[in-house]
Chains A and B, each alone.
Chain A
Amino acid sequence: MEKKEYDAVILGGGLAGLMAANYVADAGFKVAVVSKVFPTRSHSAAAEGGIAAYINGNSDPNDDPEFMSYDEVKGGDYLVDQNAAELLSDKSGEIVRILDTWGAPFNRQPDGRIALRYFGGQTYPRTRFVADKTGMALLHTLFEHASGFSNIDFYSEYYVLDIVKDGNNVNGLVAMEMKNMDPIYLKSRALLIASGGLGMVYKHSTNSYISTGDGYGIALRSGVPLKDPEFVQFHPTCLYPSDILISEAARAEGAILKNNKNERFMAKYAPHKFDLAPRDIVSRSMTMEMMEGRGFEGGYLSLDLTHLGREYIMERLTLAYDAAKTFAGVDAAEEMIPVRPAQHYFMGGIDVDITGTNSDLNGLFAAGEAACVSVHGANRLGSNSLLETLVYGRETGKTMVDFLKKHKNVESSDGTEEIANNAYLYIKKETGEHFGTLLDELKETMWNNVGIFRDENKLGDAVKGLQNLRERAKNMYVTDKTTNYNTEVFNAFETRNMIDVSLAIATAALNRTETRGAHFRNDYPVRNDDNWMKHTLAYLKPDNTIEIKYKSVIVTKWKPEPRVY
């Protein structure tokens, strides 16, 4: 097997991975960025609305980073590590300034300073944006910056199979070059998992087709736990039926949700914030409306922009307008947009602290949606995912630099052949179960039983079903035996990861007998701080079970109070 040696290997070429890569490379270390897609195809590109930032001297005069942290803590329903939230807010202005010097084309105020607008869950407006394509603009900025480093090698269209360990230390990973299906061992003493989210485990998701939870699966199989996997965010306004996200920006700029009686129903559920209440509240309110018969046939509600005027819509909401026009044939200046909630974000992730360090495996780091730093707690606010990828991508990059200075690569390369051989089993097998069958069952189970409204029966069934799927997955096979860009094989690898992470989600959701943030239990409809103001740690066991441990929430300033909007 081909072997290449690096100081650090970064799994994922999205915002978090690239941000860290820039900092590790800037310190002179040799970095490999490995991704199953070319970096600009990463899901970060899909982020629309913007990035929340308090910029000293260019924010609302009444705003303060502390208010921003408070919004995050409250928005996250007190499952937020408050030191993480404070760091996120404190560094937000600096991050935007750095991106500006790297070329990010932020929208401007007439005096040439970076513009800002209001977003859901914010006390003051603080979202910075590039039209309605902020994620795409920042992803390109970061990738272009990274492409200037001669000590960063990009392994684009390489599929990562598993982590290589030397005892309890990271020793790189084994990947497969998709073009010719050859395995490669990328050896390094530091590994950053920044592989993004897992939307594809749900039947309805706004995520890219590539968001299959690969990093979570790989981590779980290496004995690394996921923190708070039961917290899955459902975005309220997804275009029916393609589930393309209609940015929160639409509501921030004045769009209104309506039911089939033409009522602005959010007035009932969030009498103060209305349509701009946090995503979990809006998603549940919408689901309630539809369950009580006030939705439209086929299962959707309306997002009304018509009162905003064509010119304003074209100027400020181009992506929302274009999406409705291109993908639903709706002229949003004249008709209401059909929307429904769909899976959007995974608050859980690989357990790391505010330095991006995982404490289970020496040399393992995680950042972005793949990680759980606990800044989002039980529910993420809009404009905070981009911010998290950048702030914690940078913090983690700096931590990795410190780590690399103290440690050397080891000699051994045990276990690499075994990883590659296991991967080839799917191709060698002539019969068994096809991944497509397993995937269909998985998506149905997750959507119906581990979705917006949960209860013990549904979750219990889901856990059993997923355990069964995991067993059957050992017998997966592929029909395509060719050795160039065999996507069927990669789909099988993805299916394996999706089943593993889904099992963690369902088990943790069954275990948490309270309602908090995005985790809503019909049978336990209230938050229970006495028993449950703690993080879940979910470990995958070889017998297809998940072992649950706990970790306390870090509280610095804010004591829990009822979350009312």
Chain B
Amino acid sequence: MVEEKEITVNIKKYDENNGEQWRTYRVNANRYTQMTEVLRWIKYEQDPALSYRASCHMAVCGSCAMKINGEPRLACKTMAFNAINDKNEVNLEAMDYYKEVRDLIPDIDTFYDRMYKVEPRLYADQTVISGENEERMTPSEQKEVWKFEECIWCGLCVSACPSVKEDEKFLGPAAHAKGYRFIADGRDTKKAERIGILMDSAWRCTSCYMCYEVCPQDVQPVIAIKKTKAYVDEYPGTTEVITMARKHDDTISESIAESGKIKESKLYLKTFGYVAAMKDMMYMMKQGKIKYAMSKDTDVKNIDEIKKIMGDKK
């Protein structure tokens, strides 16, 4: 038979009357035990009042998102034996960022609101809807769409995202993956509109790969954001954020195309303008680093290779 081991489960409980309090439970688990089963046993046998969300127990419904030892995870996709520390202990808490409702259940309505903002549905061509025309899709296009469509709306990426916390204009990782999924879908007729919804927000992402890390479905929202940013050249509109991003990234591309490297002083000047760049120089001077800003690195000798790699444009 499968060998069992007693594990200690500490759960941060919360309700309106009692506020937050940690409670400790002990259960016997084996190598096959999922954390959702641990929760179910606790609820059935020790604390029927314990509240959490769980549905499919196979990582496709996105219900059981929570923090396990501080790490944002799905409980069903976490095996008890992988979660415990060397003292056979595991800590469970509700996800960060969202409003507390009860025990391991946060109110994630703000997550859904983010998703709705990107108009998450296909708008097909009328002739296709009526059946006059047939839409085809290459296997590689399907692969690209499906990669970002695999999101199960669990909310983990938003709970862990530093830009979401600091910037209310940032739509958040999941919404970007969803929005990009339709940009990549040739059957959709609203591509330009979608780029308009997403572009400013895309440049508010800090590319820290937190969403990529915590996503239980390997959706890689940050990659969707980067792929969306790549449309900045064909997007006709602008905002303060987009304008700066264009200057900054164009300068980087130019600099690499010219010398194979990023020339920081040029980057500062072109991105922020003379006044702001000078102000930054002052800060560098106070730190004694201005001498480095003035130093000039050698260019790539075989710059032709770089030019060929980069092609005519960008």
Contact = CB atoms under 8 A, between A and B. Distances in A.
Interface string A94-136: 0001001111011111111100000000000000001101011
Contact of B142 (A97, A108, A145, A435): A108
Interface stretch (A248-256, A264-272, A478-486): A478-486
B136 interface: yes
Contacts of B142: 105-108
A413 interface: no
Contact of A108 (B63, B129, B138, B182): B138
Contacts of B44: 436, 439-440
Contact of A101 (B36, B55, B107, B124): B124
Contacts of B112: 38
B310 interface: no
Contacts of B15: 482, 484
B77 interface: yes
Interface stretch (A322-330, A346-354, A375-383, A531-539): A322-330
Contacts of B77: 326
A37 B56 CA distance: 11
A130 B131 contact: no
B82 to A, nearest CB: 9
A244 interface: yes
B56 A45 contact: yes
B62 A147 contact: no
B128 interface: yes
A209 B57 contact: yes
Interface residues of A, number: 66
Contacts of A110: 138-139
A113 B136 contact: yes
A319 to B, nearest CB: 8
Nearest to A437: B44
Contacts of B128: 101
A179 B135 CA distance: 43
A484 B15 CA distance: 7
A320 to B, nearest CB: 11
Contacts of B59: 326
Interface in B156-211: 182, 185, 187-188
Contact of B101 (A109, A179, A478): A179
B63 A144 contact: no
A485 B102 contact: yes
A485 B15 CA distance: 9
B51 A43 contact: no
A45 B217 CA distance: 14
B2 A43 contact: no
Given A41-B56, A208-B57, A241-B32, A480 B49 contact: yes
Given A37-B63, A130-B146, A148-B121, A484 B102 contact: yes
Contact of A140 (B52, B101, B149): B149
A434 B48 contact: yes
Contact of B56 (A46, A131, A487): A46
Most buried by A among B16, B36, B55, B120: B55
Given A113-B136, A487-B51, A133 B150 contact: yes
B306 interface: no
Given A137-B149, A242-B34, A480 B48 contact: yes
B267 interface: no
B146 A131 contact: yes
A244 B51 contact: no
Contacts of A141: 122
Interface in A407-454: 434-436, 439-440
A209 B49 contact: no
B233 interface: no
Nearest to B58: A244
Nearest to A244: B58
Nearest to B151: A140
Interface in A235-292: 240-242, 244-245
Interface of B: 1-2, 15-17, 31-32, 34, 36-37, 40, 43-45, 48-63, 77, 79, 101-103, 105, 107, 112, 116, 119-122, 124, 128-129, 131, 135-139, 141-142, 145-146, 149-150, 152-153, 182, 185, 187-188
Interface of A: 37-38, 40-43, 45-46, 97, 100-103, 105-113, 130-131, 133, 135-137, 140-141, 144-145, 147-148, 179, 208-210, 240-242, 244-245, 297-298, 323, 326-329, 434-436, 439-440, 478-480, 482-488, 491
23 contacts: A37-B53, A38-B112, A101-B124, A101-B129, A102-B122, A103-B185, A105-B145, A112-B136, A112-B137, A112-B138, A113-B136, A144-B121, A144-B122, A179-B101, A179-B107, A297-B1, A434-B48, A439-B44, A478-B48, A479-B48, A486-B51, A487-B102, A491-B48
